[in-house]
Amino acid sequence: MALITETYLRAQLIKGLANPFPVTEGDKLTPAAADFLKERGIRLQRVASEPSGTLPPNFLPVGVSNRHVHLAPHHIDMLFGNGYRLTPLRELSQKGQFAAVETVAVKGPYGSLSNVRILGPLRGATQVEISRTDGFELGVHPPIRLSGDLADTPGITLVGTKGTVTLNEGLIIAKNHVHASPEEAQILRLNHGDRIHVQAMGERSIIFADVIVRVSPQYSLDFHIDRDEANAAHLTTGDTVQIISKNAERRLR
């Protein structure tokens, strides 16, 4: 027995919807779901109940990252004064990570962004993560990279309360990715380095293709996207998306 919604049907589109569409005893369709099938000329077919225990839905929670900065120790000294320590504002989904009370201004050749949040703890290298939309505002167009992959990225200027830092590199647009602990990865049958297709299931059923999975005891389950991706897919932190395929070799059925 299941409640079949338009959102569910829309998420199934990529795999193809059978015509007639099988519904088991006790299944209910929402009026929007019934319209959705009718619009496409898909009829309903009553079938016997399936045994339970078939594949579980593969859902991932969404974490939307707004523009932010990770600082190296020598840069925090230059921006806020020698020996300055960040004040945690709130914990983030990944263990030990926090949003700080402190912010910086980010200045580009064309414009600037004020009140850009600093995330802690400190890192070995300073990294500034913006969206493509932010890049148009700043007048700089960084590549799409995974965190930490800073070779051949552009620099940018940061302004703190006590000083200014002009970076030679470190500005990126974050590449979307999935974080998972080993236990979570096992439940979802994911391995470190897997590349998956993930679909938003709301009003804008975008599919994120070739999303990299990163597994570590430090991680908690999260599908990390930036604000442009969130707005394009109509997603908000705490929404869920569905894994619809895994790795290139596995064909979508």
Between CA 12 and CA 33 the distance in angstroms is: 12
| Residue whose CB is less far from a second copy, 90 or 253 | 253
| Count of all residues that appear for the chain in the document | 253
Show the beta-strand stretches assigned E in 71-163. 88-91, 98-107, 112-120, 127-130, 144-145, 157-159
Among 77, 137, 227, 240, binds a second copy (CB under 8 A): 227
- End-to-end Cα distance, the chain: 23
How many residues at the interface with a second copy, by CB under 8 A? Answer: 40
229 touches a second copy (CB under 8 A): yes
- Can residue 191 be called a binding residue for a second copy (CB under 8 A)? no
Position among 179, 197, 214, 224 found at the interface with a second copy (CB under 8 A): 197
195 binds a second copy (CB under 8 A): yes
If one asks whether residue 208 binds a second copy (CB under 8 A), the answer comes out as yes
Contacts 24+ apart (CB under 8 A), 31-38: 32/5, 32/6, 33/4, 33/5, 33/6, 33/8, 33/9, 35/6, 36/6, 36/9, 36/10, 37/9
Query: Binder to a second copy among 28, 40, 46, 85 (CB under 8 A)?
Result: 40
Binding characters for a second copy, 44-83, by CB under 8 A (x = yes): ----------------------------------------
Q: Which of 205, 220, 237, 240 binds a second copy (CB under 8 A)?
A: 205
State the residue for tokens 């004064």.
81
Give 178's strand partners.
213, 223
By CB under 8 A, tell whether 23 contacts a second copy.
no
Nearer residue to a second copy within complex by CB, 137 or 169: 137
Looking at 81, 121, 143, 182, which residue binds a second copy (CB under 8 A)? 143
* Of the candidate residues 74, 189, 192, 204, the single one contacting a second copy (CB under 8 A): 204
Dihedral of CA atoms 85, 90, 96, 101 in degrees, nearest 10, equals: -20
CB atoms within 10 A of CB 45: 11
By CB under 8 A, name the one of 144, 148, 166, 183 that touches a second copy.
144
Which one of 58, 126, 127, 199 is in contact with a second copy (CB under 8 A)?
199
Assess 38 for contact with a second copy (CB under 8 A). no
- Round to whole Å and give the CA distance between 139 and 222: 30
Cis peptide before 20 (omega within 30 of 0): yes
Site residues for a second copy per CB under 8 A:
10, 13-17, 19, 40, 42, 131-133, 143-144, 195, 197, 199, 203-210, 227-229, 231-234, 245, 247-253
